[in-house]
Amino acid sequence: MRKRLRKILLLLGLIAVLLAGWIGFNTYSVWRDYLSGPPVAFLENDDVALGLYPGDYRSAGVFTNDDLCAVTPVDSIERLRAVLKRSGVRGTFFVIPNHLGENPLRPRDPRVELLEKLRWDGHEIAQHGYAHYCEKNRGRGVNMGAEMLFLNVEEQIERLEKGREILTDLGFPPRGHRCPCFSGNARTFRALDRLNYLYGSDLHLPPTTLKTFLLPAQRRRLMYPYHPFGLKLLEITSQTDPTVHKDKAIKVFKRYHRRGGVFAFLTHLPQIAEEENLARLEEFLNYLKGEKTWLCTMAELSEWWLAREGVMVRTERDDDALIITCDNPSSYPLKEIGIIFKKSVPTIERYMVADEQGRVLKKGDIPDSRRILLDIP
């Protein structure tokens, strides 16, 4: 009897271990960023640490808005624009080129004029699918708006191109894309990459459901920009809507902020333009402005990250001076990046930063703050 009990317990233990392993495998993308840190070539060595974002920002925060299209009430765009202007926060608008395939944005539409004003304010205009609708979804128990869900690569390319053409003809060539209803998948990444988009923001945080735990998920990152399947496309995961889930938004932001992550938060037109939502948004923006987080557009963040991820730094000591060599293999410059001198080298009093060709970028005495800002071309 005892032997049998032991056998049962052993079997149950084995099942528990296998189940834990299986769940760990399925949720790899959720916990990997916490273990591995930001995926950059150089973070720090014994002498110096290199800032992850410009200036003394510790993380990045991106305001994003979805669904502006030819049927959006004009006054809702105007109200949202006014709040963003008052807050001094710029972000990215993901615009539907041809709503339901029936309402394309056209020149002289007051919404197109507003897009121009938004760009004038410093916002980025990017692409949100083509129609935000797909006939193939009918009868499959999914949202009809989840445009890319069942489309193959070629079909996705066709829609992306048609949508991009509409926006380009209006004067807004998009550099980034977000899938309607976050219907992005591996095929979307390949389609965007083939069409040379700078970035995509095609996936949302995974829901905390049994399915998330028990079914294998796509390999991806949540906290940092990443290259799916090693493509040159940069993907940036979208986080939550702070006007719907304020507590969750602040909790996620704090967690990411501590680890130098990217908090790309989500809003929708026209809902966001309701008075109480705008008040919540303004409150959240003011909260972010009080933190050392870089509030920027998706394109600005992407260019920065494409440079920052590849920068290599070498240091060597020469008497009382530290010689720092920075190599930025990307075509994007890093403006106002911070170098922090570690306290472990107290005998060093001067520094010189040079690029790979030996050109001096900056030199001088190590300041009391033990921190300098410079541009790496």
The site for Zn ion (CB under 5 A) is made up of 66-67, 180
- H runs (alpha helix) in the chain: 2-26, 28-36, 74-87, 110-120, 153-169, 186-194, 210-214, 246-258, 275-289, 298-308
* Distance in Å, CB of 180 to Zn ion, minimum: 5
CA angle 273, 275, 277 (to 5 degrees): 70
- The pair of structure tokens assigned to 296 is 């920027």
Kindly tell me which of 104 and 180 has the beta carbon lying closer to Zn ion: 180
Kindly tell me which of 180 and 228 has the beta carbon lying closer to Zn ion: 180
Nearest C-alpha neighbor of 37 from the set 260, 349, 345: 260
346: number of Cβ within 10 Å = 7
* Distance in Å, CB of 134 to Zn ion, minimum: 13
Whether the ω angle into residue 73 lies within 30 degrees of 0, i.e. cis, is no
Kindly tell me which of 130 and 304 has the beta carbon lying closer to Zn ion: 130
Kindly tell me which of 182 and 304 has the beta carbon lying closer to Zn ion: 182
Kindly tell me which of 26 and 103 has the beta carbon lying closer to Zn ion: 103
Kindly tell me which of 67 and 235 has the beta carbon lying closer to Zn ion: 67
Query: CA 168: distance to chain centroid?
Result: 23
* Distance in Å, CB of 103 to Zn ion, minimum: 14
Kindly tell me which of 269 and 281 has the beta carbon lying closer to Zn ion: 269
CA angle 188, 148, 109 (to 5 degrees): 105
* Distance in Å, CB of 270 to Zn ion, minimum: 12
Kindly tell me which of 180 and 200 has the beta carbon lying closer to Zn ion: 180
What CA–CA distances, in Å, run from 104 to 100, 164, 176, 228? 9, 12, 19, 31
* Distance in Å, CB of 187 to Zn ion, minimum: 19
What lies within 8 Å, CB to CB, of 68 at 6+ separation is: 77, 93, 94, 95, 96, 111, 115, 269
320 by DSSP, 3-state: which? coil
253: number of Cβ within 10 Å = 23
* Distance in Å, CB of 96 to Zn ion, minimum: 7
* Distance in Å, CB of 188 to Zn ion, minimum: 14
* Distance in Å, CB of 94 to Zn ion, minimum: 7
Q: How far apart are CA 139 and CA 150, in angstroms?
A: 12
Q: How far apart are CA 144 and CA 139, in angstroms?
A: 9
Q: Nearest-CB residue to Zn ion? A: 66
* Distance in Å, CB of 14 to Zn ion, minimum: 45
Kindly tell me which of 69 and 311 has the beta carbon lying closer to Zn ion: 69
What lies within 8 Å, CB to CB, of 246 at 6+ separation is: 280, 284
Instruction: Please state the length of the chain.
Output: 377
